[in-house]
A and B are shown apart, each in its own frame.
Chain A
Amino acid sequence: MRISLLSIGLIAAFLTLAMPARAFEVEEHHRFGNGEARTLRILSTTDTALLTPMIETFLANNPGVAIEYTSASSAELMTAIMREKQPYDLALSSAMDLQIKLANDGFTQAHRSQAVDLIPAWGNWRNHVFAFSQESASIVVSPSAFSDLEIPRSRQKLITLLRRYPDRFRGRLGTYDVGASGLGYLFATQDARTSESYWRLMELMGSLRAKLYCCSSDMIEAVARGEIAVAYNVLGSYARAREDLANRITIIEPDDYTNMMLRTAVILNTAQEPALAGDFIDHLLDAAWNSPIVVEYPFHRYPTTGTAQNVPFRPIQLGPGLLVFLDHLKRKRFLAEWRSTVQQD
């Protein structure tokens, strides 16, 4: 099965050359399935490999269907859809704010189904934006660096630790460069909105000359290599996925609060197969929210009890509030403040 899919992938790679030229930057392009009748075109920020098992089960249930899966960065995804109006059916993205903007600005269409009803209320916006995963903003630490120290389980404890042992962690901290990473920006703005301790932590990290990264995987690997001891606001799902590094990293979901990023799907207005796109969304939603848990689902399933007080997991709220941080003046101000805090020299 895998072999056949790989071969299909290669064929798909060839086919890509035949596709019209794209102005936006594609990371990966795959064609799954050999169906001729209908083709579902997905534009996604999610690594192809992560979703491959889900795609395979979908194709197994829908004979005669093929899926073209294109992965790109969230910014490129926006360019492809908003500016270039590329004819994709479905957009899967971890950039919640951008997905909301797509829906708010009228680039998406509504979808209703039984699977949609499975989603908790906070995971569905206007029946346009559907959450199909919960992924934590985690702290990843190197267990070796904490051999003689207690691993901090909250921001406050991390701050205390950093203040107590500044020399030990100087230059050995890492976080997203919020100017470069959309996800980093999302996590940072949510942190800033949620707790004052964020700014104290950033100030402290700046003073300890924290390194800035473009993406979660770089931070995970840096921790695994022992270059840094603490990486803040790392996408938990990616850390969890690196089973090969499991003994060299420790994933912390802070128990004061843990922001939950929701990976979301939208059906685009330009969709040529909206019904098929809906079916694929239902397939994802069913795996994400229905029981029993299916093995192909690549993400950890958190309880869906929502935003109850005693649960640290806080799903980032889908809605127009996210548009605030996309405001260019707001962003400019926020980035300026962030830089002045983190990049002190």
Chain B
Amino acid sequence: MRFLLVEDNVSLATAVLDRLRMDGHVVDHATDIAAAEDFSATTDYDLILLDIMLPDGDGRTFLRTHRSRLIETPVIVLTARSEVSDRVGMLDLGADDYITKPFDFSELEARCRAVLRRHGGDSSNQRRFGNLVFDPLAGTLSVSGNKITLRNKELRLLEIFLNSPDRIYSKPKLVDRLFSYDEDVSENAIEVYVGRLRKHLTDSGVEITTVRGLGYRMSLV
């Protein structure tokens, strides 16, 4: 997926970029409206993350011109302002969703997925691994044509593994990625989800192995 992040706060932008890239997305970064307009004019994005307080103006201006050009790329607004007053205006101007800073990356991912799902992600988003066909937007997994609908945590876990097969993920890393920080979870919770995923992968030719003392790894049998 190709994302455009319009955000002038560099450290925030870096973190968001890191995270999105980690999830396997290609992300361009614009720090003002002018740059954002240049990017959006030359590249087709699947999603735009738009901050509204930008050094050269209000993100809403961009949103308005963006929509007036009949570009259908969905937009999620990143706002630090009061929700009460901004919300309606954002949605009225054509934003697909918004998220209030500071936000949990899990929430951002969830919102991105929801928005992309609403915009009807095409089959190019599907990923194949061995005889697995995984559609992260629909949240489905097909094993030899046998389709299973995954629950959210299972879906996220599978997505993490599929982004870098054969890589070992420690339990703490997986907790960081899978749970938001306000959830008080023990690392054992990971074992429950890994267990569930393993059950779905039975007979699939793909397995999640436990690397003692280090973590988990997904690999072809």
Within the complex, are A and B direct neighbours (CB within 8 Å)? Answer: no
Q: Which residues of B does A touch, CB under 8 Å?
A: none
A residues with a Cβ closer than 8 A to B are none
